[in-house]
Amino acid sequence: SNFKGTISKWYFSRNKNKLFSPISTTFMDLVRFHLGSVCLGSMLITLVKVIKMIIKAFKRKASEGTSSAFVQMLFACSEWLIEKLEKVVKYLIRNAYIIVAKDGTPLYDSGKKAFGLIFKNLQDVLLLNLLGDFTLFLGKVFVTAITTFIGYEMMVILFLIFYSLN
């Protein structure tokens, strides 16, 4: 397919003056060619949310009655797992939507490509996240140290002023 998103159309266009309303043409491409992908992605997210609601309903019913600690733990673990599954599905579908808009491929093919790209770049993403977290930590330590130093110096100056007045 040769259907690109608005930004792709603008970026890859040689003559920007010949673009005819890229937003409306991209919207029409979405309706004409990719509405099924959007519906499928939304359906998958909704399916996971429905499963999550069912688990919560069963957990509520079990907590009303006299259920064992094992059953309560089982529901808590399943609720945690479904929340993580929901996050993963949302992340994969969001990346698949990006590839649908960029390449014009169906959601399934775009999802496979997105998963492959994420898995291939997993080491880089993890390293970047760790480096970013470490940089933020150093920034927080630096700001705290500078603020503490300035506060201490101001207290010393105020003490000296107060002491010299008496």
Residue 2 has pLDDT above 50, yes or no: no
Query: Pick from 110, 109, 114, 113: which is nearest to 88 by CA?
Result: 114
Residue 84 has pLDDT above 90, yes or no: yes
pLDDT of residue 3: 46
Backbone angles phi, psi at 109, to 5 degrees: -65, -40
7-53 pLDDT, tens digit each: 666 666 677 777 777 677 777 777 777 788 889 999 999 999 999 99
Query: With the C-alpha atoms ordered 67, 71, 77, 79, is the resulting torsion angle positive or negative?
Result: negative
What residues contact residue 18 under an 8 Å CB cut-off, 6+ apart?
none
Mean pLDDT of 60-87: 86
With a threshold of 0.75, does the pTM exceed it? no
93 alpha-carbon distance from chain centroid: 11
92-144 pLDDT, tens digit each: 999 898 888 778 788 899 999 999 988 888 888 788 888 999 999 999 999 99
pLDDT of residue 25: 74
CA distance 93 to 115: 10
Q: Which helix (H) or strand (E) holds 141?
A: helix 122-165
pLDDT of residue 4: 56
Query: Pick from 71, 39, 32, 38: which is nearest to 55 by CA?
Result: 71
First and final C-alpha spacing in the chain = 84
What residues contact residue 33 under an 8 Å CB cut-off, 6+ apart?
1, 3, 104
**Tokens at 146, concatenated:** 């500078």
In terms of Cβ atoms closer than 10 Å to its own Cβ (0-12, 13-18, 19+), residue 64 is: exposed
Mean pLDDT of 69-94: 91
Residue 75 has pLDDT above 70, yes or no: yes
**Tokens at 85, concatenated:** 């599954």
